[in-house]
Copies of this chain bind each other. A is one copy, B any other.
Amino acid sequence: MAANVQDAIMLLGDSLTQGGYDLNGFVAKLAHVYNRKMDVINRGFSGYNTDWILPVFEQCFATQHEQQHVPKIRLLVIWFGANDAAPPPKPQHVPLDRFRANLRKLIWMVRAPESPHYSPETRIILMTPPPVNTAQRERAQLAKSPPKELDREFETTRRYAEAVKEVGKAESVPVVDLWENLYEAAGREEEKLEDFLTDGLHLNEKGYAIVFEGLEKAIKDAYPEYHYDNLQSVFIYFDLIAENPDKYMELTKKRSAFAHS
C-alpha cells in the first residue's frame, strides 16, 4: 500500500492518453521530468468519448470526503475530441454542443464549491485533438481484417478542436492547441501529417514529442509554480546525504515538493 508521499498530475483522456507511456510518449516523458516531485496518473481510456468519461471521472477523482487520504491532484489535463468527433451513426459520436457541455461539466466537477469533487488546489489544462490524416486513416482501416470504413473526417475533428478552445476561453482554462501545433508542424498539409501519426488518428513518437512540448510550455506559462523546475524533490538528493552520512535519518525526512508551502 502506497503511503501518500507525492502529489500527482492526472491525465484524463482517450487512447491518445492511454498510449502515452509507449513510443517515448508524453506520459512517460512527463513522469520522467517530474520524478521524485509529482506522480503521474494515467487515466486514458481508449475509445471513450466525453459522455462515457463523465461517470468514469466521478469514480477516478476523489470526493471531498476522500481527498484527505489520497494523493492531491495538482494538475488535471483533459484531452478529448478524437472520438467524440466520430461521425454519426458511430456510437462514439457526441454532438458538438454536448461535447462542449461535457467538457464544462468535467471542469465544474473540480472547480465548483458545490461539487462533491471540489478540489481548489487542482489546476486544469485542456488539449485539442490532433488533426486527422484521412488518406492515411483510410489505408489503415482498409488494411484491417475484415477491412473497415474510414471513421473520421478532417474538418469535423477540426471543429471539435475549435470547441475545446471555446470552452477554454469561456472557462478561463489554458488550452494546448495540439491540432494547430501538429498541423503547423506538417506544413499545413493533411498528407504530411503522416510524419506524426501511426494510422491517421493516433500519434507516433514524433507526434507525442509535440504533445509533450506543448503541455510543458502550458504548465510553464499558466502554472509556473507547478512546473518541475520550480519544485524540489520530496526526498533529498543523495549527494547531500553523502556529505553528512551520519545524519541520514534526519536528512531522509519527506518534504513538500513546494519549497514554500
Mark A residues whose CB is within 8 Å of B: 1-5, 8, 10, 18-19, 21-25, 27-29, 31-32, 35-36, 39, 41-42, 44-48, 51-52, 55-56, 59-63, 66-67, 69-73, 83, 91-92, 119, 122, 235, 237-239, 241-243, 245, 248-249, 252-254
Copies in the complex: 2
Partner of A2, one of B70, B83, B241: B70
Judge whether B35 and A21 touch: CB under 8 Å.
yes
Minimum Cβ distance to chain B for residue A233 (Å): 9
Please give me the residue from chain B that is nearest to A110 by CB atom.
B1
CA distance in complex: A239, B202 (Å): 17
CA distance A119 to B249 in the complex (A): 24
Q: Are B245 and A45 neighbours in the complex by a CB distance under 8 Å?
A: no
Chain B residues closer than 8 Å to A44, beta-carbon distance: 35
Known: A55-B248, A70-B70. A45 touches B238 (CB 8 A): yes
B42 touches A73 (CB 8 A): no
| Nearest 3 CB-CB pairings of A with B | A47-B238, A69-B69, A1-B62
Q: Tell me whether B2 and A45 are in contact (CB under 8 A).
A: no
A241–B238 CA distance with the chains assembled, in angstroms = 49
Which residues from B are CB-within-8-Å of A252?
52, 55-56, 59
Contact status of A42 and B31, CB under 8 A, knowing A2-B61, A8-B2: yes
Identify 13 residue pairs between A and B in the complex whose beta-carbon atoms are under 8 Å apart, listed by A's number.
A1-B67, A1-B122, A2-B60, A3-B59, A3-B60, A18-B36, A22-B28, A23-B24, A46-B237, A46-B238, A51-B248, A52-B248, A66-B69
